[in-house]
Copies of this chain bind each other. A is one copy, B any other.
Amino acid sequence: MKTLYFITSNKGKVREAADKLRPFDITVVQKDLGYAEVQADSLREVAAQGVKEVQKRFDQPFMLEDSGIFIMGLKGFPGVYSKYVFFTIGLPGILRLLEREKNRSAVFQSVYAYCEPKRKPIIVSGECPGVITFDQRGKNGFGFDPIFIPIGAKKTFGEMTTKEKNQFSHRSKALENLISKLKKF
């Protein structure tokens, strides 16, 4: 049984990752160290900078994750700043912005960065395309989950169990990419 530290303050992310990595005999342990997130055009850049910072003060294998939702009709907003937007204008704000917008397509993106002491990080991403609903549905998950239906599903992420969500989710795909890379590591 291998232990992998997950640098995050978000229990929901830990739950998702633990579910996903259990079959690989990996125990995920939350470590809420905190790190600076840069204002960048891409999640990959945010994660890459974060990993550099954490590596300086943590000497165990760890991973961190950054994710966001990119809404096509809003030029990619809220993207890299999804968390901030969630805590300010929130889901009602997003729905209001889209009221007269025909294009409700959106992509959830997740970037995982994995790092061992004194080694270069592995950075992977996963995407989940879908649409923004007209109202909030479901209370599971977190963040933008209640207004996002992935392509191929009829429920929002907010209406799905963790197991159902993991069949579609960006974070789940990113973790799969990470697992396949770790096997070759």
Cβ-neighbour of A97 out of B39, B78, B89 (below 8 A): B89
CB distance from A73 to the nearest CB of B (A): 10
Write the chain B residue with the least CB distance to A83.
B39
Alpha-carbon separation in the docked complex, A88 to B94 (Å) = 13
A side interface size, CB within 8 A = 25
Q: Could you say which residues of chain B place their CB within 8 Å of the CB of A84?
A: 39, 77, 79-81
A138 adjacent to chain B (CB < 8 Å): no
A24 adjacent to chain B (CB < 8 Å): no
Contact A99 B96 (CB under 8 A): yes
Identical copies of this chain, number: 2
Q: Could you say which residues of chain B place their CB within 8 Å of the CB of A38?
A: 36-39
A117 adjacent to chain B (CB < 8 Å): no
Alpha-carbon separation in the docked complex, A78 to B85 (Å) = 8
Write the chain B residue with the least CB distance to A81.
B81
Contact A87 B99 (CB under 8 A): no
Interface residues of A in 79-126 (CB under 8 A from B): 79-81, 84-85, 87-89, 93, 96-97, 99-100
CB distance from A108 to the nearest CB of B (A): 17
A12 adjacent to chain B (CB < 8 Å): no
Alpha-carbon separation in the docked complex, A151 to B92 (Å) = 29
Alpha-carbon separation in the docked complex, A113 to B89 (Å) = 29
Q: Could you say which residues of chain B place their CB within 8 Å of the CB of A49?
A: 36
Write the chain B residue with the least CB distance to A38.
B36
Contact flags A51-78 to B (C-beta < 8 A → 1, else 0): 0000000000000000000000011111
Contact B88 A79 (CB under 8 A): yes
Contact B96 A74 (CB under 8 A): no
Write the chain B residue with the least CB distance to A93.
B97
Q: Which residues of A contact B (CB under 8 A)?
A: 36-40, 46, 49, 74-81, 84-85, 87-89, 93, 96-97, 99-100
